[in-house]
Chains A and B, each alone.
Chain A
Amino acid sequence: MDRQVLRRARRAIPVLIVGGILLLALSGSLTQLLQVPLRPLVGMQTWLAERYEVLRRFVTAPRDIVALQQRNQQLEAEVSRLQTQIIELQQQVSDANILAALLDFARANPEYQYKAAEVIGRDPSPFLHYIIINRGSADGLRRGMPVVTEQGLAGRIAAVTASAARVQLVTDPAMQINVDVTPAGTSGVLVGSLTGDLTLDNVPLDANLQPGDIILTSGLGGTYPPNLLVGQVTGVRRLEYELFQNASVQPVVDFNRLSIVLVIVNFQPADYTPLLPTPIPAQ
């Protein structure tokens, strides 16, 4: 009887031990205990895994670098190509905007025929305000034809070759344009200068010039067609003891950014040569 009890007790002991361990494990009491032997094992495995990773990278890296370098070169070439394309497209958009504005101007002034031209240079002398355009007599351009932008009058053609022309800008020191002032209802002469500033001159003292007045070509003298916008009055100088008053004028055209212009090809300036007095030969 005792033996049987003892045998059963021996069988029950492992079950109790296993059951106790399970209970301890489930209750979380074993975690702290298990960390003691596991910590060096985990550390060892981490060290081994790191060494393996280093070894794997060492073996595979050269091939990857070559592949990456090739890929990088391809991508850099692609980026350069796309950047070039972006610049070209931006230029095209800019040109299209200018041409659209010029087209608007042409539609607003349908009485004239236009020839578009690109600005390809400037007069080498800093004393003069001239530009060079890429259209010439082969395109129907003639000396004296007015040149405009979408903003207004830019100048007139001073010299022509077969494939290019030189344009005298309204800001040139030798430039003089007969203009009307609106709404002051008076007229005057617009004069250029070395500095590029415009001065409205020969305006009668009784005219009521005001800053903000608009300057339009008068057509007087037949050098320019009438009603082309030239600028705006920014300041008036009136001295009672002088015959005329004058005013400083802001041109409407930004001459530093001229890239495309329109030449009015169906306007011929008046030719005064037959009217000029000829010297009478001495008898």
Chain B
Amino acid sequence: MIADLLGLVVLGILTMVQSVFLRQVVLLQGSADIVMLMLIAWALQRRARHTWLWALFAASFVAMLSEVHFAVWFIGYLGVTVMASALRRTGWRLPALGMFLLAITGTLLIQGLTWATLRLVGTPIPFLLAVRRVMLPSLLLNLLFALPVYSLARDLAAWVFPEVVEV
């Protein structure tokens, strides 16, 4: 319950940070998606529960701010959360590497969905231009932010779910 409420607060703050600051820190036209990174990092935490709820919170917040169809955010964020949870359940031993892999997959998934949706609603953006100017720069920025966000999520998890030491 506390973790769910914490998710509401953390994702609300991160959405604001994303909209106010990070959208101005651009590489070509790409920008980092720390909301997605936080969802992945949280879902990779061993003790995290209800990660899908965090994904729903994040998608709701971002969809409120964005002109992109809300389905993109719901599918994208739920998708990366499910993938991260699945990776955790497989007993993946290198969470940092998992974080990088999922950051790459998540970025391509969400940006690809956005590109396809815009094409469907009548804003055709050349694919190669989208890859060169948005997807690859965003991917690079997400990889840069991946480890700091993972550290933040790990500290949050340690704070919310303290280790029980048996004496």
Contact = CB atoms under 8 A, between A and B. Distances in A.
Contact of A127 (B15, B16, B68): B68
A120 B67 contact: no
B67 A123 contact: yes
B19 A132 contact: yes
Contact of B16 (A121, A125, A166): A121
B103 to A, nearest CB: 15
Nearest to A257: B24
B30 A126 contact: yes
B23 A122 contact: yes
A194 B19 contact: no
B129 A124 contact: no
Interface string A122-136: 111111101010000
B67 A125 contact: yes
Given A120-B20, A122-B19, A195-B133, A130 B26 contact: no
A235 interface: no
Contacts of A120: 20
Contacts of A196: 29
B138 interface: yes
B115 interface: yes
Contact of A132 (B30, B65, B123, B125): B65
B121 to A, nearest CB: 8
A218 interface: no
Interface string B49-78: 000000000000010011110000000000
B130 A194 contact: yes
Nearest to B34: A124
Interface string A104-122: 0000000000000000111
Contacts of B68: 123, 125, 127-128
B67 A159 contact: yes
Nearest to B63: A124
Interface in A143-164: 158-159
B19 A130 contact: no
A168 interface: yes
B24 to A, nearest CB: 7
Interface residues of A, number: 21
A174 interface: yes
A132 B23 CA distance: 12
Contacts of B115: 127
Contacts of A127: 29, 68, 111, 114-115, 118, 125, 130, 134
A158 B24 contact: no
A173 interface: yes
Contacts of A27: none
A256 interface: yes
Contact of A173 (B18, B19, B65, B125): B125
B130 A124 contact: no
B35 interface: yes
Contacts of B111: 126-127
A166 B68 CA distance: 12
A130 B24 CA distance: 12
A123 B69 CA distance: 12
Given A124-B33, A126-B30, A132-B19, A194 B125 contact: yes
B123 A124 contact: no
Given A122-B24, A124-B33, A168 B67 contact: yes
Closest 10 CB pairs of A and B: A121-B19, A122-B23, A174-B123, A125-B68, A126-B31, A126-B134, A124-B66, A124-B62, A123-B66, A130-B67
Interface of B: 15-16, 18-20, 23-24, 26, 29-31, 33, 35, 62, 65-68, 111, 114-115, 118, 122-123, 125, 129-130, 133-134, 138
Interface of A: 120-128, 130, 132, 158-159, 166, 168, 173-174, 194-196, 256
